Amino acid sequence: MLLTEQDVMGYLGSFFWPFVRLTGVMLITPIYSSNLIPVQSRVLLIVALAGCLAVWDGPWPALPSTMVGLMLAAMIGIAFGFMLGLVGQIVVAAIAGAGEVAGAALGLNFATTAGIASPGLSPVLGDVYQWAAWLVYLGLGGPFWTMEAVAKSFHTLPAGIPDLTAMASLYTYSGAILRDAVLLALPALAAGLVVNIVTGIANALASQLNIFSIGFPLLFLGGIWIVASSLFFIEPVAVELIRQGTAALAALMHG
């Protein structure tokens, strides 16, 4: 079996292009970038997926002939994969942010636990919303449409350099992190405001009613009930987030 230099470079190129783009995706996409998957397993997964794309997909662009060009192509591929994976991360971050906002409104952020998305400590309520966001993301097929976008992006935008309009669309979509987080946390914010007003008035009318012994337990119990009830409204918000995210992905993929 004879292998020419052109054949070897072609084989390397068919593996190089999906490898760098998948590396960028795995750096930011939900679940894959978390502490639940060790770095070694993540690297093996990138290699396996890149090998599958190398066999099943193509044709691939030619590898740059210089080391500087190769490094530049690698950085561009990783950056473009990062932008593709960022869409899914925005969906999860918007829902997880609602837990942070609700916990701050209800005074529950003092309880912390080892976070699943970060090495440090995170509020318990934020961790609960993080798990809920992951379950919704998995249930709606988030990892599958992210990988499908990576595979199709080589046909629509092989160079991996989107135009400014597509990047502006992604920038606008990232505003959903704060907007939808506050929207999901509105019931908790309203409940916290009402309970604080009621306990404040009761404390002013009857000073024997200590706000620390009565107000805080009411705020905690009422807040937990409101939060538990509002978990059912996560899916419609997530569906709308993914609908907007697919539009941002389409803009990125088509440049």
Among candidate residues 110, 106, 105, the one with its CA nearest the CA of residue 123: 110
Query: 1-15, 131-145, 219-233 — which one is most confidently predicted on average?
Result: 131-145
User: For 18-30, what is the mean pLDDT?
Assistant: 88
The rounded distance, in Å, linking the Cα atoms of 42 and 29 is: 12
Give yes or no for a contact between 248 and 87, defined as CB atoms under 8 angstroms apart.
yes
Is-above-0.85 flag for pTM?
no
Give the model's pLDDT for residue 228: 76
| Those residues with Cβ within 8 angstroms of residue 45's Cβ, 6 or more apart along the chain or in another chain | 26, 32, 37
The rounded percent of the chain whose pLDDT value lies above 90 is: 0
Among candidate residues 112, 175, 159, 142, the one with its CA nearest the CA of residue 249: 142
Lowest-confidence pick of 57-61, 64-68, 232-236: 57-61
User: For 69-96, what is the mean pLDDT?
Assistant: 85
DSSP helix/strand/coil, 49 = helix
DSSP helix/strand/coil, 121 = strand
Give yes or no for a contact between 78 and 21, defined as CB atoms under 8 angstroms apart.
yes
The rounded distance, in Å, linking the Cα atoms of 137 and 99 is: 16
123 preceded by cis ω (within 30°)? Answer: no
Give yes or no for a contact between 242 and 142, defined as CB atoms under 8 angstroms apart.
yes
Q: What is the pLDDT of residues 231-240, one digit of tens each?
A: 777 778 778 8
Give the CA radius of gyration of the chain. 23
DSSP assignment string, 177-227:
HHHHHHHHHHHHHHHHHHHHHHHHHHHHH-TTS-IIIIIHHHHHHHHHHHH
Give yes or no for a contact between 61 and 70, defined as CB atoms under 8 angstroms apart.
no
Band (58; pLDDT cuts 50, 70, 90): low
Q: What is the pLDDT of residues 132-148, one digit of tens each?
A: 888 888 887 888 888 88
